[in-house]
Structure 1
């Protein structure tokens, strides 16, 4: 990479770090940049996952207050996202990338719609539910979908944060800011597990990894501070708009 390419990758890491802790579509910024500077797609994907791990760590640290509010849910998210990521990471190395990438835009579009309609649909479900107690634990079905989201995060990752927000939004009655924090924590857990696997058996571009890591560790913490202060309606709208835009971009390219 030229010095200009390196600067672009560093800036992409910073921007993607902010997106990790806010709208949850970080890889849709950082992954195309790595491909644009000349990395093969699979190497770009694995290097992107490793390089973006610091964003999840710093973002989770920034959301530590929210994560401590419901420790049981936090542990459940850690386990489901981490276990799912094992399967997803291995699939990335064993299967052609085109197998899964063909459905990625549609998955992102679908989850953006779910995030957008979740408040009204959740209110409707609560009004017709026999159990009036707030759902502050992860149920079996929610755990299954969280594990599948973790698998997707280990495989490709773009939009996995949006998907996790949809899963937790429908599966629990937690505050939106807490769900956003758990989403960031889930991305971190998925990336950490995938990083261990990729470092052991995958091809990585360590220069790209270092540049992304340097930018993303700052961006992740900054994004957490932004995400905590944004009103739920504004943050939800940002997630939907950015997610739909990213999915549309992937479909036309």
Structure 2
């Protein structure tokens, strides 16, 4: 890897750490850069997963204020994320590299629709709860657990736009602010990246130079993303999610 390539990977790591903390989809920045340096797709995916761990942890720490009072919810959902992440990492090595290329843009598109409609749907759900006298479950119930676990399978496989899928599911099934849900998203992403990376350490090839550069860059980006993201209003955050998600779909379709 040349000096210019190393610089490009580092900058991509900073950018990915920032965007992952605010929205998600940072892999759509780092993955093409790693491929451009000559790494094979699976090696690039594994190196990227390892490198993004510090960024995910950094982003979660940056959102620690928004995590207050959410410990039971986070612990329960993290179990599903762990199971899903390990399953996805296993599938990455077992399935052809093109296995998810068809379904991923569809998943992201569905998630964006949910993000756009979430305020209206949440109001409708709230009115129904008031009419029936049923209160919202603080952990989202079995539906959210299963949904996030399945999203984590995809996250362990590739990670691109997994944060958008997380936010869409939690926005539909949890009665909470976007910023607090974003904080939970960062923790779940850290869990998925970490369990997938631990699995890859023992069974897959990766590039240490790329891992270190992305790790340092994403850790820095995680702090930047936390400072910027927590200042965004729910409307702006939702608009940013939709914009990044739309760009993600375009890039995934053009790959």
Q: Distance in 2 between matches of 1:105 and 1:200?
A: 30
Per the alignment, residue 49 of structure 2 pairs with: 49
Per the alignment, residue 251 of structure 1 pairs with: 253
What are the within-5 Å matches in structure 2 for residues 102-117 of structure 1? 102-117=102-117
Q: How many residues align?
A: 253
TM, length-normalised to structure 1? 0.97
Q: Distance in 2 between matches of 1:211 and 1:176?
A: 31
Q: CA deviation at 1:68?
A: 2.2
Q: Distance in 1 between matches of 2:121 and 2:140?
A: 18
Structure 1, unpaired ranges of 5+: none
Per the alignment, residue 6 of structure 1 pairs with: 6
What are the within-5 Å matches in structure 2 for residues 10-159 of structure 1? 10-129=10-129, 130-159=132-161
TM-superposition CA deviations, 1:144-184 (whole Å, max 9, x none)? 00111111110111000000111111111111111011111
Match of 1:199 among 201, 215, 226: 201
- Indicate the SS of the match to 1:174: coil
Q: Distance in 2 between matches of 1:100 and 1:37?
A: 23
Structure 2, unpaired ranges of 5+: none
Question: 2:221 aligned with 1:219, yes or no?
Answer: yes
RMSD: 1.1
**Kept in 1: contact 2:10–2:213 (CA 8 A):** yes
Q: Distance in 1 between matches of 2:33 and 2:110?
A: 25
TM, length-normalised to structure 2? 0.96
Q: Distance in 1 between matches of 2:133 and 2:142?
A: 16
- Indicate the SS of the match to 2:28: helix
Q: Distance in 1 between matches of 2:254 and 2:29?
A: 16
Runs of 4+, deviation exceeding 3 Å: none
TM-superposition CA deviations, 1:185-230 (whole Å, max 9, x none)? 1110000100100011111011100100010001012101211111
